[in-house]
Amino acid sequence: MRQKQPAQQAKKDYNGHPVAIFFSYFGPHKALFALDMVCAAAAAGIDLIFPYASRQAMRTLLPEQRFTAFFTVIGVLLAAFALKGALYYVITVVGHYMGVLVEADMRRDVFSHMQRLSFRFFDQNRTGVLLSRVTNDLFDITELAHHGPENVLICALTILGSLCVMFTIRWELALVLLVLLPICFWYTMRQRKRMRDANIEVKKKTAEINAAIESGISGVRTAKAFAAERAERAKFDRANETFKSAKRDYYRAMGLFQSGMEFTTGAMQAAVIGAGGLLIMGGSLDYVDLVTFTLYVSTFISPVRRLVMFMEQYMQGSAGFARFLELMRTQPDIEDAPDAAVLKSARGEICYRDVSFAYGGGETVLRHIDLHIRPGERFALVGPSGGGKTTLCHLLPRFYDVTEGAVSVDGRDVRSLTQESLRSQIGIIQQDVFIFAGTIRENIRYGRPDATDAEVVEAAVRAEIHREILEFPAGYDTYVGERGVMLSGGQKQRLSIARVFLKNPPILILDEATSALDSVTEQRIQASLDALSRGRTSLIIAHRLSTVRNADRIAVVEHGQIVEEGSREELLAKNGAYAALERAQEMAAEAQ
């Protein structure tokens, strides 16, 4: 059942009304929701009974000296308040747990949605900001999911019930409250938008602080290496100051709101006492009814105050939900076509036909690229940094879509294939390898989660890292730390090669896979890469030309265009751009 949830989630319409979307998350937990609401209604009913029972006791039982009945009523009231305590226990436990379930569902959905978003989205958004949206914002929504419905129900029942009973006691006094109540709600609605806007700003600044913290922790080694701790603290302090400023504005808005509400609710009580005094002076009201009415005024005012306190929670939760919806309404730049086909067992024929590309409508990065790579061919891309080599390779697995032209695999436009099936046929090894915080076995198995232990070991052997793994105290179960911090650069690289061996894709992209390694380690890695690329269509990006001498063909990419293409021997014979690159690297090597 868990595996079907993402598919069900895809059908949810996030462009509808926010209230409808919010309550749609209560659907899977309707039994808990109903229990919470029943207990809330019962607790509100008990609050309404007390003043009425007190009035009957003072007006009838005590004057008639029916003391047994009087103490029986007191006993019933005590039992009712004991029941109310039990009801609030259920409301607290069940309500909070239901809120956690709603939060978990939202977090599942937003994480699944973020997995669908394209590279461009993550290019434009900081990790810490996204983390804040998945943690802090959703926590505020949890509190709203728990307290929101029950608070509204309890307050609505108590306010309406109190008004109805008060109209039966003295309609004149009830009318005083009814006149003042719209003023209270008018003030509430007027201040609500200001508080909401201020709270959204607070959440933005909180996200910026989280981003600063994430950046500071992730880059702590670099900061220490450059003795830049003071600069990092200064960046954090700037983010912290903007957060304090946003919080100050929010609390000012909240202060105006609460002070106005305190005045309004106090004015209600004073107005009732004043009007009641006039009625007593005129002989049309006795003290028992005034005391009873005053009790109901307290019962009436209590939910109004509760709504005031809840308003801060509502603003935080609604601001968090607004940011949640903003993220959920962000559509991927790249989506499967409605009739997208599944690519199975690709032969590895790759074609770029008149391909041009620009990031986000900006400056063109690639211009009119035409390439035909045969199945099993090792095709190298060389040239200066920033020429467009990596971008060219990112178009193949559809990390980005071409601006003009088409990229095809086995004669089929990659845009006509499902992204999952396309990427399952491609293995990528980059210079900056990402190692997950887990064991060596888990990181290798990431290439194929259903692989057996024997297959994991075989992949490690082929990547020439098996012996080194066995030298670790826990072998394949060794914990590698955050981003593989406990491994050397060469070990991380060979771990990534083992992943691809295990995945066994017919197409391979090697993006400067050895450029960050020393010469000795590079030779060992290169042997593994040669074994890996054998029999596969391989796109090899390299700065060190020594690593691509065995390539079947080489293309020189400069300023987003292919300026030369051919075998190494053909390019050297031309004595053009490639030959100049080789001479430059040979001179640099001799100078060392």
Euclidean distance between CA atoms 392 and 461, whole angstroms: 32
Please tell me the chain's helix, strand, coil percentages from 3-state DSSP, rounded to the nearest 5: 70, 10, 20
Q: CA end-to-end span of the chain, whole Å?
A: 62
Kindly report the pTM of this predicted structure. 0.68
Amino acid identity, residue 533? S
What angle do helix axes 136-169 and 30-56 make, rounded to 10 degrees? 30
Q: Which domains does the chain have, with CATH numbers?
A: 14-328 (1.20.1560.10), 347-425+509-518+538-592 (3.40.50.300), 429-504 (3.40.50.300)
Q: Is 449 exposed, middle or buried (0-12, 13-18, 19+ CB in 10 A)?
A: exposed
pLDDT at 264: 74
Contacts by 583-591 with C-beta closer than 8 Å and gap 24+? 585/544, 585/545, 585/546
Residue 417, SS3? strand
pLDDT at 454: 92
Euclidean distance between CA atoms 100 and 93, whole angstroms: 11
Q: Which two tokens stand for residue 278?
A: 């006039």
pLDDT at 372: 94
* Contact yes or no for 150/91 (Cβ under 8 A): yes
Q: Which two tokens stand for residue 347?
A: 């032969």
pLDDT at 6: 40
Euclidean distance between CA atoms 187 and 23, whole angstroms: 27
From first to last of its 592 residues, what are the pLDDT tens digits of the chain? 333 344 344 467 788 888 888 888 888 888 988 898 898 888 888 877 777 777 677 677 767 777 787 788 778 888 888 898 898 888 888 888 888 888 888 888 888 888 888 878 887 777 777 777 777 777 778 777 777 787 888 888 887 887 777 777 777 777 877 777 777 777 777 776 677 777 777 777 777 777 777 666 666 656 655 566 777 778 778 877 887 788 788 778 777 777 777 777 777 777 777 777 777 777 776 766 777 777 777 777 777 777 766 776 777 788 788 888 888 888 888 888 889 999 988 898 999 999 999 887 678 889 999 999 999 999 999 988 888 888 999 999 998 899 999 999 999 999 999 988 998 898 888 877 788 888 889 889 887 888 899 999 988 888 888 888 998 889 999 988 777 778 887 788 888 888 888 888 899 898 876 665 666 666 777 777 777 788 889 998 887 787 788 889 999 999 889 999 999 898 888 888 888 888 887 776 666 5
**CA distances in angstroms from 151 to 25, 308, 448, listed in the order given:** 18, 11, 49
Per-residue pLDDT of 350-398, as tens digits, reads 999 999 998 876 788 899 999 999 999 999 999 888 888 889 999 999 9
CA atoms within 13 A on the CB side of 458: 11
| Residues written for the chain | 592
pLDDT at 429: 84
* Contact yes or no for 90/32 (Cβ under 8 A): no
Contacts by 365-368 with C-beta closer than 8 Å and gap 24+? 365/391, 365/560, 366/391, 366/392, 366/395, 366/560, 366/561, 367/559, 367/560, 367/561, 368/405, 368/561
* Contact yes or no for 495/465 (Cβ under 8 A): yes
